[in-house]
């Protein structure tokens, strides 16, 4: 199923308070120039309020702190709402794909915790999901895993939405 990611508009994102960021990955790259090597850094971060709103960002700069700051700013621009149950899990099993990465998200009972790798765990924690089982297949690139997780979260539907689509009553 193809789903378009719907991000919060800037006014709605600005209203959110208590947004925290988690740094997922820092990557160093080098360009060889006449005088030696010139290093630059890229940072990947996930931001959220741990209550149903999460975003991801990517920033590049010549210094590490500047790259982290850019990634955090970008994450605040790409926020989306996540459908969760009262028990802190998702409503149904869902699979998300991005490039070579596939992420499977499975609802879990209370007390299970977040069973996930570092990239998917960061997204789930920032979204406020407390009980979930995950499995990633294919590429382990953190950027692709995060985008695949966001794709999976965008495919989530509440029982009420599914009932309305099918034209039945709960």
Q: How many CB atoms lie within 10 A of CB 133?
A: 17
- What is the extent of the structural domain holding 100? 82-166
Residue 18's pLDDT is: 82
Helix (H, G, I), strand (E, B) or coil at 81: strand
Q: How far is CA 78 from CA 57, 101, 144, in A?
A: 7, 20, 15
Is 86 in the same domain as 162?
yes
Task: Retrieve residue 66's tokens.
Answer: 């500047």
Q: For the segment 32-48, what is each residue's pLDDT rounded down to a tens digit? A: 999 999 999 999 999 99
Spatial separation of the C-alpha atoms in residues 155 and 5, rounded to whole Å: 9
Is 87 in the same domain as 62?
no
Which helix (H) or strand (E) segment holds residue 165: the answer is helix 159-166
Spatial separation of the C-alpha atoms in residues 37 and 85, rounded to whole Å: 51
Domains: count for the chain: 2
Query: Is the confidence at residue 167, as pLDDT, over 60?
Result: yes
Is 102 in the same domain as 151?
yes
Is 102 in the same domain as 143?
yes
Question: What is the chain's mean pLDDT, rounded?
Answer: 90
């Amino acid at each position: 199923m193809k789903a378009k990611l719907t991000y919060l508009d800037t006014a709605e994102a600005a209203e959110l308070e208590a947004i925290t960021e988690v740094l997922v990955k820092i990557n160093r790259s080098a360009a060889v120039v006449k005088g030696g090597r010139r290093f630059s850094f890229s940072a990947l971060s996930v931001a959220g309020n741990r209550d149903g709103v999460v975003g991801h960002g990517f920033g590049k700069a010549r210094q590490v702190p500047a790259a982290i700051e850019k990634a955090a700013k970008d994450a605040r621009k790409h926020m989306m709402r996540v459908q969760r149950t009262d028990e802190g899990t998702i409503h149904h099993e869902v699979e998300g794909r991005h490039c070579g990465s596939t992420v499977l998200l499975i609802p879990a009972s209370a007390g299970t915790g977040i069973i996930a790798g570092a990239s998917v765990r960061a997204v789930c924690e920032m979204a406020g999901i407390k009980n979930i089982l995950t499995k990633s297949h294919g590429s382990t690139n953190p950027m692709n895993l995060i985008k695949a997780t966001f794709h999976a979260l965008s495919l989530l539907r509440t029982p009420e939405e599914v009932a309305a689509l099918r034209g039945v009553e709960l």
